[in-house]
Structure 1
Amino acid sequence: MIDNNQLLRFTTAGSVDDGKSTLIGRLLYDSKSIFEDQLESIENTSRKKGHEGVDLALFTDGLRDEREQGITIDVAYRYFTTPKRKFIIADTPGHIQYTRNMVTGASSANVATILIDARHGVIEQTKRHAFIASLLQIPHVIVCVNKMDLVDFSEDTFNDIVNQFEDVASKLLIKDVRYIPMSALLGDNVVNKSENMAWYQGAPMLHTLETMHISSDINKVDARFPVQTVLRPQSEAFRDYRGYAGRVASGIFRPGDEVTILPSGFCSKIKTIDTLDQTLEEAFAPMSISMTLEDDIDISRGDMIVRSNNVPETSQDLEVMLCWLHNEPAKPRAKYSIRHTSNDQKAMIKEVIHKIDIKTLGRITDDSPLKMNEISKVKIRTTKPLMADSYRENRATGSFILIDDTTNDTVAAGMIV
């Protein structure tokens, strides 16, 4: 029986042609996680393209442009199961102009797999992806040194790349880094242990993913309940019922807990915690519940219920790390819609404190508008207070997105410092 709690989300990242899609194809193919009709379709497409065998990259490159150009453009999600664990894979593009797609794909990942071409070593895109993995607080990184067959499976080449990446990782907040030499095309150290690299004593990639301990990234200490809607049933049996419905973002709530409603600051106690068909003794993230209070307080969507002994910062001025996702640069002092938990309001970028130089991981003082894929530390001001925690402490209440009101496009993803 598979433990339903053992779901692992991992993302692939790397430069162009490092073999990300081929690696995932090999992982699915060798682990026998592909349906027969899908395999038959890929085999037919591979023959039409003139390949002798199966083009493994076609298992993830599903868009017409991707197949014609032989590159990954969109984030492709794939699901597979082994006897030990369930997996969700986000295959992200390697081109610099698609760095924003990596941010999207990696935002909920437990593990980041960063591919490095053994012939080229650590390059600018490697540093960019390592920095994003660190910025998004992904707890585990697997560095896959791919295409080892093109460097004669050299142990010295592998060790040199490990040293290069260690130098990058030492400047970042990455807790756990593992290194695997492999050839995704030939299958070495992907599912099965390589016979060509007897000097490598570690486990292949699939075994590493199956046995890696994944701790939940949900904050269990800080109780946060963003209110999505107020329930006032019209039926006779529930005429006096006034419930506050939403999803627990973090922490644990129990009936009798003293709570504070933000931003108003009024206090009360939890009377009941309900679901559709039962009353609960406790609720924890990420459960969807309805909560009633002992006092009648004016609460609406966007408010947050927290335990009174643990209140988040409430402020209209915040310092954040911002990744600009849109083709158009940020408009100076323009207002955007900010979406933080269930709270929607207006926000303005007041000041760019500094930008990140991906090549050196240093800071650049630059007042120019934010451009696509740039990562910067900025000051923002909101029209009403946000109830926010630092992203490092609480991913659920420490993250947000900015939306352009005129186009309804998501223009930026942010993490509260």
Structure 2
Amino acid sequence: MPFSALGLCPELVHAIGALGFSVPTQIQAEAIPPALNGADLLATAQTGSGKTAAYALPLLQRLPAAAPDRRRPVRALVLVPTRELAVQVGELLAELAAALPQQPRVAVVYGGVSINPQMMGLRGGAEVVVATPGRLLDLIEHNALRLSAVETLVLDEADRLLDLGFAEELKRVLALLPARRQNLFFSATFPPEVEALAQGLLHEPVRIAIAATDEGKPDIHQRAIRVDTSRRTALLRHLQKEHGWKRALVFMATRYAAETAADKLYKNGVFATAFHGDLSQGARQQILDEFKTGRWDLLLTTDLAARGIDIEAMGVVVNYDLPRSAVDYVHRIGRTGRAGASGTAISFVSASTEAHFRLIEKRNGLAIPRETIAGFEPVEVEAPQAAPSAETLAGTGGVKGKRPSKKDKLRAAAALAAAAGDKTKA
């Protein structure tokens, strides 16, 4: 099915073709027609499936024509969790918008940089704004823009936008939007909190869930290597030298760990650098550009790079530290094996993290064989889990279904009160 069959105007069909997209992906084929018709969407699909274009194309086509010589109100708002994703989404929207007869203005705003240039850039308005929630609120407080005319709201990476760090800001943004608008929620995963938000905001949404079929699944070879915690950096260096990795993303638990390991690797002849939220926006963009052009072989990063960043030919992802959740695991390894390419995802599993990795496997329906690398055989032993005590099993212990519920406790309290009353009467 060509893009022209989805109801898109010829200009956008030509523009998307010029960007190298010949046929729509499944999420694009299913999301674009109802979005063009003004329906609310709740769409989920695996990473790398083309979700950005799935909302960018109908968003641009539905924009009303700009009035000449008048300030341009914000008609479409795209909220994203990270600066890097904001830049990528803004670039795609700007490239597509340039093909339209009346080109809408696209503004990209995010924190970590001076607010003054962004305020200057918004003079005269912008029909489309791509923003991180915090900076958007800052600009509103400075009267740099208003949201009273927004007709389309997009939440890209909706699950991440509901993390504790964004939930309050998102709530404040939603309160500033007009009640009548189109809502498009896109993400790779939709946990219960996103479903709850959708029920309160979306009106009879079209639900699109693209399952990862064998044909559509990213070609990612997943490996789990047993290694002692103290030898992970040495193993990482060994693997990079042995396989000649030229573009590998390594996920670390903390910014300090990323800096420390990057320094050790660089001193031992590996072109590695750290990438995290403490860096200025300029430094982050420079590191990404250098990584894309081959200046760095290893990019050691926090979960900052787990979402939205699309780097061509990312052949390897390494979980130096395991992710906190099964969902984060999916997002991390989704940085490789994109756009039809194959990739490898390696997880370092120590004795202390074995139980956590088994949980990640269970939640994602995986069974990854454990490997050992010659010269890096682990000596640490997994600590046995303590057996539950007799009191735990018999009383309020940890066996699901055996613990008295809140209602049981209330009933028991009521029974005790009734019994005490009977004794008083007697």
Q: TM-score, normalised by structure 2?
A: 0.21
More strand by share: 1
Q: TM-score, normalised by structure 1?
A: 0.21
Structure with the larger RCO, 1 or 2 (CA within 8 Å, 6+ apart)? 2
